[in-house]
Amino acid sequence: MRILFLGDTVGRTGRDAAVAALPKLRERLRIDLAVINAENASHGFGLAPDMAEALFGAGADVITLGNHAWDRKEIVPYIANHPRLIRPMNFPPGTPGAGCAMVELADGRKALVASAMGRLYMDPLDCPFRAMAGEMAKHRLGASVQAILVDFHAEATSEKWAFAHLFDGQVSVVVGTHTHCPSADHTILAGGTAFQSDAGMCGDYDSVIGMDKTIATARFLKKLPGEKLHPADGEATVCGLYVETDDATGLATRVEPVRMGGRLSQALPDV
């Protein structure tokens, strides 16, 4: 299975770039499953229903969220009726939406997409490790599902690595989100799980993690209330991860970064 994951979509420039890139990437890389994190799509905070529709329309099979999941209140009724929009599974019981989505491809193959959120330097949620272990008890990689991708939305690189090692060999991909900076540690772990501690963002990198640099740097300098943060609006770089898996085992056979447009060095797998 060919899998594409795109990192946190930040603001209008990130949304527009992702919507434009998704159809091209699906065709060029012959993608079977496309997943995108969109928790920062609306002015950097949250996701609105019309934005979700645009991303689905461009070719996203599943949209994941994170700690900004509920910043746009309109998403609460929307997520209840759209099972391929998922939020972290370790939110408390009773939280709207679900933490996983099952995607069945046209040829009958199935892929599970899961979302979990870390706790180091983040909100004090339920344990993501135990939540994922409970979910894995329901599925068998290479048998009931041909691929399993986990978006682990976390601040600490250590927690992301620990999560990946714990589920190495049980899932196809663990990819980190939240820090908006693409890491250079993409690898296939010993048990066959593809991993990158952060996929980066779809947004303007002439910024402070996607936000206007003038306003953001002033906050560090003065430590006084100031203008509200808003996304930078220059040309975006679309960042993500490309993974190929073996349908018989569900394990990764190839992993490469994706970076298109904007200021960062470009990277596009040769398929």
pLDDT in tens, 204-248: 999 999 999 999 999 888 877 778 899 999 999 999 999 999 999
Residues of the chain with pLDDT under 70: none
Q: Which helix (H) or strand (E) holds 132?
A: helix 128-136
The per-residue b/e assignment along 92-118, b for 16 or more CB within 10 angstroms, e otherwise, is eeebebbbbbebeeeeeeebbbbbbbb
Please state, in angstroms and rounded to a whole number, the distance separating the CA atoms of residues 22 and 94.
Answer: 33
pTM: 0.96
Indicate the domain borders of the chain: 2-260
Burial (0-12, 13-18, 19+ Cβ within 10 Å), 161? middle
Beta carbons within 8 Å of 81's beta carbon, 6+ residues apart: none
pLDDT at 226: 75
DSSP codes joined into one string, 172-215: SEEEEESS-S--S--EE-TTS-EEES---EEB-SSSBTTB-HHH
Exposure string over 44-69, b if 16+ CB within 10 A, otherwise e:
bbbbbbebbebbbebbbbbbbbbbbb
Residue 223 confidence (pLDDT): 76
Q: Could you give the 3-state DSSP secondary structure of residue 16?
A: helix
The residue among 167, 176, 175, 92 whose CA lies nearest residue 137 is 167
Cα maximum dimension of the chain: 57
Residues assigned a catalytic role: 68
CATH code for residues 2-260: 3.60.21.10
